[in-house]
Amino acid sequence: MKDNLLKWINLALVADLFLVLFSFFWLAIAVIGRSAGVPLGLDLWYKLWDPVFTPALGILMAGALVSGAASWISQKLNPKI
């Protein structure tokens, strides 16, 4: 049960990672487009920053810390020889 739950949490964190990477690449391309005078969605990215991308970053950071702590605790409780 615990392993299955950790598997699903790790899968959600991987999906969240791809959302964060997508948002970063979108920002980089939109900034380059704005400097070239081509509208590539920078205004939309700014509108999505607070409701979508900020929580995604927070979830990714918290999930990485919790996942690492859970793995470390699991190794300490069940040492493999």
- Indicate if the alpha-carbon torsion angle 9, 12, 18, 22 is positive or negative: negative
pLDDT tens for 28-80 read: 999 999 999 999 999 999 999 999 999 999 999 999 898 888 888 888 888 77
Does residue 3 register a pLDDT over 90?
Answer: no
Say what the pTM is.
Answer: 0.82
Cβ neighbours of 5 (radius 10 Å):
10
pLDDT at 81: 62
Does residue 17 register a pLDDT over 90?
Answer: yes
